[in-house]
Amino acid sequence: MKEEKRFIDKLKTYLLYAGPTTFIFFTVIILPFLFGIYLTFTSWDGISNSHNLVGFSNYIEAFKDMKFLSSFGLTLKYVLYTVILTNIIAFLFAYILTSGMKGQNFFRAGFFTPNLIGGIILGFIWQFIFSRLLVYIGNNFNIPIFSSSWLADPVKAFWTLVIVSVWQNSGYMMVIYVAGFMNVPKDLLEAASIDGANAWRRMINIIVPMMIPSITICLFLTLQRGFMVYDVNLALTKGGPFKSTELISMYVYNQAFLSQKYGVGQAQAFVLFLVVALVTVIQVYFSKKMEVEA
């Protein structure tokens, strides 16, 4: 490309190549983001056109809202369990599926399948399994833990969310871990074997350190998906029983679009954004520090 010297030429070139993207990006992401911050300082009810500035009162109300805090606490618990379980299971799958066994492509494809289907449909599928199939099994084979629907019990309903999310996401993370395992240099592992390192030692001292980049990505993705989960929550438990499983996304959604508390809802959404940004930045920072060169 020729070199543009004058400002007007630069502008023309920029607009030709990047104009539409820049415009759409700013109107869809940046403008609503900034407008959202402004909304948190107003008392807008969603209908009237007047935005009265109310200072920090939405934030104060957000933190005084016990239901918001308990929903946040529940989300943290949910994120903790799903992140740990998803990554352990995905890591194990990937470990076994890179040891050169027969049918590994078949298994990989199978474990990945839930990721092709939307969370709404996955939630409905499991709703049937938990409320019909398992109850039937529980009653006919005398397994008390299944004899009443898990979705009707607040504690068990929380665990259905964890189970379904782990089931949904572990295949995706498995694919990333498989790539990580394939990048561990074979000669390094062989050298360690010759030096007498057993499978466990090789895992701790060679494989895991070499896998840190994959672990960084998977932790990041599972953290982000965990905080943002909505579809499965809506389809599987609908936040019930008795609003006991309303995770934060659903809470914010209901706050704004059902209770019409837009200012407070947006303030809570913004708090959510800050927490997610902080957690993921800290996680990526520490994971990056742990990376090693082969």
Partner 1 sequence: MKKRERIMLIIKFMFLGIFFLIYMVPFIFVLINSFKSKRDILLNPMALPTKLEFSNFINAFNKMGYIHGFVNSLIITVFSVLFIIILSSTTAYILVRKKWKFNQIIFFIMVASMIIPFQAIMIPLVRIYGSIGMLNSKWALIYMYIGFGTSLAVFMFHGFIKSIPLELEEAAMIDGARGMQLFWLIVFPLLKPISMTIAILDVLWIWNDFLLPSLVLVAPEQRTLPLSTFYFYGTYTADYGLSMAGLILTIIPVIIIYLILQKYIINGVLQGSIK
Q: Is 74 in the site for partner 1 (CB under 8 A)?
A: no
* Of the candidate residues 84, 137, 188, 197, the single one contacting partner 1 (CB under 8 A): 137
* Of the candidate residues 9, 17, 52, 201, the single one contacting partner 1 (CB under 8 A): 17
Distance CA(40)–CA(56), nearest Å, equals: 8
Among residues 60, 26, 55, 27, the alpha carbon closest in space to that of 43 is found at: 55
Stretch that binds partner 1, among 32-40, 63-71, 73-81, 184-192 (CB under 8 A): 32-40
Q: Is 22 in the site for partner 1 (CB under 8 A)?
A: yes
Alpha-helical runs (H) found in 141-261: 154-182, 186-194, 199-202, 208-210, 212-228, 231-236, 248-253
Residue 2 DSSP code? P
Considering only residues 243 to 282 of the shown chain, the ones binding partner 1 according to CB under 8 A are 248-249, 252-253, 256-257, 262, 265-266, 269-270, 272-273, 276-277, 280-281
Closer residue to partner 1 (CB): 206 or 271: 271
Both structure tokens of 226: 């965990």
Closer residue to partner 1 (CB): 119 or 245: 119
Stretch that binds partner 1, among 79-87, 152-160, 221-229, 285-293 (CB under 8 A): 221-229
Closest CB 274 distance from partner 1, rounded Å: 9
| Helix (H) or strand (E) segment spanning residue 76 | helix 66-96
Q: Is 290 in the site for partner 1 (CB under 8 A)?
A: no
Q: Is 226 in the site for partner 1 (CB under 8 A)?
A: no
Considering only residues 177 to 216 of the shown chain, the ones binding partner 1 according to CB under 8 A are 178-179
Q: Is 67 in the site for partner 1 (CB under 8 A)?
A: no
Angle, alpha carbons 287-280-18 (nearest 5°): 105
Residues 138-177, mask of contacts with partner 1 (x by CB under 8 A): -----------------------------x---xx--xx-
Q: Is 128 in the site for partner 1 (CB under 8 A)?
A: yes
> What's phi and psi for 88, nearest 5 deg?
-65, -50
Q: 150, exposed or middle or buried, with CB in 10 Å at 0-12, 13-18, 19+?
A: buried
Tell me if 173 sits within 8 A of 90, measured CB to CB: yes
* Of the candidate residues 116, 145, 194, 292, the single one contacting partner 1 (CB under 8 A): 116
Q: Is 129 in the site for partner 1 (CB under 8 A)?
A: yes
R_g over Cα of the chain = 24
> What's phi and psi for 98, nearest 5 deg?
-115, 10
* Of the candidate residues 48, 113, 142, 198, the single one contacting partner 1 (CB under 8 A): 113
